[in-house]
Chain A
Amino acid sequence: EPEVTQTPSHQVTQMGQEVILRCVPISNHLYFYWYRQILGQKVEFLVSFYNNEISEKSEIFDDQFSVERPDGSNFTLKIRSTKLEDSAMYFCASKHTGAVATNEKLFFGSGTQLSVL
């Protein structure tokens, strides 16, 4: 089965630093997502991305966050000036289409555990 790849698996950073989390979605997928999960809590939607622009974002996704698809394969999440509360597992996901009227599976990566010290 095809996989979404995320790097690094663990990232440790100092508060106030910038981090970039990287994802390689499945090659023929068109819709990309970032989710996060604070330890012990539920998985929360951050942002969806289609056709080189953000299609939807949650309240969590403020000006501190940005996403980019710098080339044909990578999809990145940048967090500027990290805060302690940004410590979480960040999941990338991709899907071929965005329509609800399909039974298409959303593929998740293995996650990047971000620790802000």
Chain B
Amino acid sequence: AQTVTQSQPEMSVQEAETVTLSCTYDTSESNYYLFWYKQPPSRQMILVIRQEAYKQQNATENRFSVNFQKAAKSFSLKISDSQLGDTAMYFCAYNGGSQGNLIFGKGTKLSVKP
């Protein structure tokens, strides 16, 4: 069975600094997608970034980028120039099935301090 592990329950970063959130996963699939979702206090699930496993190039979305290491099954999220609005829970998620259901990690609570 596929699993997603986020080993950092909480992290904090100073505004304008860079922070990296870790995620590892386990799968025997060769074709899959990985995602980072942001969940602010409103509890809305907001897609931050996604990575296709067959693409070697790391995905980037503005201040958000990933370090995807397929052999190591690692998928970390880097947030550059952190902003107060980045304060949220961040969930790493895996999708390898045909039906599109996601498997989530337990989340990392990120606090951006002024």
What's the least CB distance linking B6 to chain A, in Å? 9
B36 at the A interface (CB under 8 A) = no
CB within 8 Å of A: which B79-114 residues:
91, 93, 95-107
Nearest CB in chain A: distance from B1 CB, A: 11
CB contact between A91 and one of B45, B96, B98, B103 (< 8 Å): that residue: B45
Partner of B95, one of A37, A43, A100, A108: A100
Within the complex, what minimum Cβ distance (angstroms) separates B103 from chain A? 7
Number of A-B residue pairs having CB atoms within 8 Å of each other in the complex? 66
Contact A103 B33 (CB under 8 A): yes
CB distance from B21 to the nearest CB of A (A): 14
* Interface size range of chain A in the complex: 20 to 34
Give the size of the chain B interface in residues (CB under 8 angstroms).
Answer: 25
Report chain A residues within 8 Å CB of B101.
33, 45, 48, 56
Question: What A residues does B97 contact at CB under 8 A?
Answer: 56, 100
Given the complex of chains A and B, what is the CA–CA distance between A68 and B95 in angstroms? 24
Chain B residues with CB below 8 A from A108, complex form: 44-45
User: Chain A: interface secondary structure?
Assistant: strand
The answer on a CB contact under 8 Å between B50 and A103 is yes
A110 and B42 in contact (CB under 8 A), knowing A98-B98, A100-B96?
Answer: yes
Is B32 in the interface zone, CB < 8 Å from A?
yes
| A42-B91, A100-B33 given; A48·B99 CB < 8 A | yes
* A-B pairs with beta carbons under 8 Å apart, 19 shown: A31-B99, A42-B107, A43-B102, A45-B102, A48-B99, A48-B100, A55-B99, A56-B97, A56-B99, A98-B98, A100-B95, A100-B97, A100-B98, A101-B31, A103-B52, A105-B47, A106-B100, A110-B42, A110-B43
